[in-house]
Amino acid sequence: MKIVRKLNAAELGQEGPRVKPWKVLVVDDEPDVRRLTTLNLLGFTFAGRPLELIEACSSMEARQRLAEHPDCALAIIDVVMETDDAGLRLVEYIRKDLKNGMIRLVIRTGQPGVAPERYVIDHYDIDDYKDKTELTVQRLYTTVRSSIKGFRDLQAIELNRYGLSLILDVTPDLYNLHQDKLEDYFQGVLVQLIGICNLGHSGMIASIDGLVATLEGEDIRVQAGTGEFDASPGAMGRRQEIVKLCTEVVLNHGMPEGLRNGALVLPLQVNSQVLGFVYLETGQDISEGDRELIKIMANQCAAALDNFRLHHSLEESYNEAIDMLGHVAEFKDSATGMHIRRIQTYTERLALAMGCTSAEALTYAKASRLHDVGKVGIPDHILRKPGPLTEEEFAEIQRHTLIGDAVLKRSPSLAMARLVARSHHEKWNGLGYPDGRKGESIPFVARLVAVVDVFDALVSVRPYKGSWQKAAALSEIRRGSGQHFDPAIADTFAALIENGDMDDLIEAAIQGTTGLALDH
């Protein structure tokens, strides 16, 4: 993996990355002291970033300035202002009320007798104590530099902790990644890169601009971003520009004009296939050690992308298998086929109403399509018989649950559908078939399908019956609650029917169409 770097901005006429200053709050009731501090720190830079001095003439004004600038790196605070201990009360407010442990606090007093050094250091969470008489230009420079360095290092630690927490939260799901998890993982990696390499902090300092994107054919999808590439609407223009330029870099090995000075582009690739890229705008030189670390983390991103792609390939194969077997059942019996498609939508809506997540509801809905797949093994003269079935014919019909189970057990990925195929005719009271399972021993998804299957069959036109009215079919569901059906599921389904949430499917059943069952 090669890191491509934009080295010469002058040749291309490009600006460097947007650099934000270190914010320093100067709190002192003497205007001359504040003015002298500003003069003594003219031209100060640290890690390529200048200072922005924010002044306050009292502890109360300082509280307002902190509310306006919560990302201050350093506060230089006088002790005696509106009261003899105003500066010390301000320190307590910052640490205890604001719970800001990051900002570096330096006490600077012209009356050391009022606030003795040892007492203040022992009793207040400060980082340095200076007498105004000893704070020469050089010592002020040293104090500010060491304080900002400490702030930066604390931020790096915090970034590492936060980035690591994002990665660890996602790690258990790395072999079952979904879009939201992938974005969390990338965001964690990006934060780790910024923190470990001391590149800065997005959001709070935003001196670094970076993003991670994937390439899916011609579709470029940004996964995570910081600084100018965060999720805000105003960042979209710059995002699109960088995505286009970086795509050219990683796919065509070109170096187009438009990338800023100090920009790093890392391809995310598995073997020779490029899956995406990482882009960072650093504004500073990257050591060889940090370069190697960036490469390692980029490799981890590439592996996650490849796993994500394989996972979704398996999901697509599963969906294709569901559709294929569903079409087999539809080919066997067109009336049953349209019933199958409606059942999918019934099941999804009912599962959502029962409190299932969207992902769970969709899984149950797809599995429900194969509830009658076993009917492929039932003779046509029985399936399509216009009159009542004999006892022997009904026993033959019951075999479709076992046939469906036998068909689906060959594929572990169809385990959910297999539960539905075998158990959707079990009854809450234990008098169903084929196993006589009772109550909650019946799989939840099968209990869902049991209700919607019966209801749709009642309101549908079949060779052996006409369509029931909605009210009559609903009464039958209520009558079976606690006997045939799980009472909680039956009650929830009845509420959906009464609210009109299933009217489109009921109308489709009466007309012999699919309704909305092919939404997915």
Residue 131, domain CATH: 3.40.50.2300
Print the domain residue range for 69: 21-135
Residues 252 and 341 in one domain: no
Q: Does a structural domain hold residue 107?
A: yes
Residue 361 and residue 502 in one domain: yes
Among candidate residues 135, 168, 192, the one where a domain is terminated: 135
Q: Is residue 301 part of a domain?
A: yes
Q: Please determine, for residue 78, whether its predicted confidence score (pLDDT) is greater than 90.
A: yes
Do 75 and 157 have their domain in common? no
Q: How far is CA 34 from the centre of its chain?
A: 46
DSSP 377: G
> So what's the pLDDT on residue 109?
86
Assess whether 240 and 359 both reside in one domain: no
pLDDT at residue 4, as a whole number: 47
Is-contact 347 365, C-beta < 8 A? Answer: yes
Instruction: Report the pLDDT value the prediction gives residue 204, as an integer from 0 to 100.
Output: 23
pLDDT tops 80 at residue 513: no
More confident: 180 or 418: 418
Domain-embedded: residue 320: no
What is the rounded distance in angstroms from the CA atom of residue 174 to the CA atom of residue 156? 25
Angle at 65 between CA 61 and CA 69, to 5 degrees: 170
Question: Do 174 and 70 belong to one domain?
Answer: no
170, 37: one domain: no
Provide the residue type at 220 as one letter: I
pLDDT in tens, 162-199: 655 655 555 555 545 555 566 666 666 666 666 666 55
439 — pLDDT class (breaks 50, 70, 90)? very high
Percent of the chain past pLDDT 90, that is, above it, reads 41
Find the CATH number of the domain harbouring 492. 1.10.3210.10
Does one domain contain both 58 and 182? Answer: no
Residue 260: name the closest of 13, 498, 515 by CA.
13
pLDDT given for residue 138 in this prediction: 87
Q: Is 261 helix (H, G, I), strand (E, B) or coil?
A: coil
Whether 161 and 301 share a structural domain = yes
Is there a domain that residue 393 lies in?
yes
Same domain, 252 and 371: no
Average pLDDT over residues 105-122: 83
Question: Is the pLDDT at 253 greater than 80, yes or no?
Answer: no
Residue 10 counted as domain residue: no
- From the list 301, 303, 309, the residue with the least C-alpha distance to 280 is 301
Q: Point out which residues pair with 263 in neighbouring strands.
A: 281
Which of 6, 366, 375, 427 does the annotation list as catalytic? 375
Structure tokens at 519: 């939404």
Q: Are residues 64 and 162 in the same domain?
A: no
41's CB contacts (< 8 A; 6+ apart) are 24, 51, 53, 140, 141, 144
Q: Within a domain: residue 218? A: yes
Separation CA 122–CA 103 (nearest Å): 18
Domain boundary among 280, 311, 342: 311
With 50 as the cut, is the pLDDT of residue 208 above it?
no
Confidence band (pLDDT; 50, 70, 90) for 227? Answer: low
Name the residue among 443, 309, 461 with its Cα closest to residue 367: 443
What is d(CA 154, CA 292) in angstroms, rounded to the nearest whole number?
23
Q: Please check whether residue 105 is in contact with residue 126, taking contact to mean a CB–CB distance below 8 angstroms.
A: yes
CA 456 vs CA 108, 336, 342, 464, 468: distances in Å? 80, 11, 8, 15, 10
Answer yes or no: do 252 and 297 share one domain. Answer: yes
CATH number for the domain harbouring residue 236: 3.30.450.40
Residue type (1 letter), 427: K
Residues paired with residue 220 on neighbouring β-strands, in sequence order: 215
Total structural domains within the chain: 3
Burial tier of 425 (Cβ tally within 10 Å: 0-12, 13-18, 19+): buried
| 16, pLDDT greater than 60 | no
Is 12 inside a domain boundary? no
**What CA–CA distance (Å, rounded) separates 358 from 262?**
44
Beta-carbon contacts of residue 378 (< 8 Å; ≥ 6 apart): 396, 397, 399, 400, 403
Distance CA 463, CA 384 (A): 7
Adjacency order of strands within the sheet including 273-281: 4-5, 263-270, 273-281, 209-216, 219-226
Rounded to whole angstroms, the Cα distance separating 223 from 209 reads: 14
Q: Of 311, 341, 371, which one is at a domain's C-terminal end?
A: 311
pLDDT for the residue 202 = 30
Residue 465 bears catalytic tag: no
d(CA 419, CA 388): 28
Burial 86-113 (b: 16+ CB within 10 A, else e): bbbebbeebbeeeeeebbbbbbbbeebe
Non-local (6+) Cβ contacts of 212 within 8 A are 186, 189, 190, 222, 223, 224, 225, 268, 276, 277, 278, 279, 301
Rounded Cα–Cα distance for residues 223 and 212 (Å): 6
Per-residue H/E/C for 132-176: CCCCCHHHHHHHHHHHHHHHHHHHHHHHHHHHHHHHHHHHHHCCC
Share of the chain above pLDDT 70, in %: 70
Is 497 contained in some domain?
Answer: yes
Burial 161-193 (b: 16+ CB within 10 A, else e): ebbeebbeebeeebeebeeebbbbbbbbbbbbb
Given this model, what pLDDT does residue 199 score? 55
Question: 383, 337 in Cβ contact below 8 A?
Answer: no
Mean pLDDT of 28-38: 93
Residues 205, 117 within the same domain: no
pLDDT beyond 60 at 203 = no
In sequence order, the β-bridge partners of residue 226 are: 210
Lowest-confidence range among 92-106, 321-335, 347-361, 426-440?
321-335
